[in-house]
Amino acid sequence: MASLLTRIARATTLCFTVAALSTAWAAGETVTVVTPLAVGSGSDVALRIVTDKLSAALSQPIVIDNQTGASGAIGAEKVARATPDGNTLCGCNNAILGVLPHLRKVPFDPAKSFKPVGMVAVLPTALVVNPSLPVNNVQELIAYVKANPGKVSYASGGVGSAQHIAMSMLEVATGTKMLHVPYKGASPAAVGVAGGEVQVMFNAIGTVLPLVKAGKLRAIAVAGAQRTPAMADTPTVAEQGVPGYDYASWIGLVAPAATPDDVVNRIAGELTKVLRNPDTVKRLADNGIDPSVMTPTQMRDYMAKDHARMAKVVADAGMKE
In the chain, the domains with their CATH numbers are: 2-21+29-122+249-317 (3.40.190.150), 125-240 (3.40.190.10)
Q: Cα(298)–Cα(236) distance, rounded to whole angstroms?
A: 27
d(CA 126, CA 222): 4
Question: What pLDDT, on a 0 to 100 scale, did the predictor assign at position 2?
Answer: 47
Give the pLDDT score at 320.
77
What pLDDT is recorded for position 8? Answer: 46
Q: Which of 124, 123, 121, 125 is nearest to 293 (CA)?
A: 121
Q: What is the spatial distance between Cα 262 and Cα 260, in angstroms, rounded to a whole number?
A: 6
| 151 φ, ψ (degrees, to nearest 5) | -110, -10
Q: CA 132, CA 153: separation in Å to the nearest integer? A: 13
pLDDT at 23: 43
- Residues 191-222: pLDDT tens digits? 999 999 999 999 999 889 999 999 999 999 99
Residue 269, pLDDT score: 97
* Structural contact between residues 58 and 1, judged by C-beta atoms closer than 8 angstroms: no
Residues of the chain with pLDDT under 50: 2, 4-6, 8-9, 11-14, 16-24
What is residue 3's predicted lDDT score, i.e. its pLDDT? 52
pLDDT value, residue 5: 45
Q: How far apart are the first and last CA of the chain?
A: 54
**DSSP letters for 180-211:** EEE-SSHHHHHHHHHTTSSSEEEEEHHHHHHH
Total length of the chain = 321
Phi, psi at residue 205, to the nearest 5°?
Answer: -60, -40
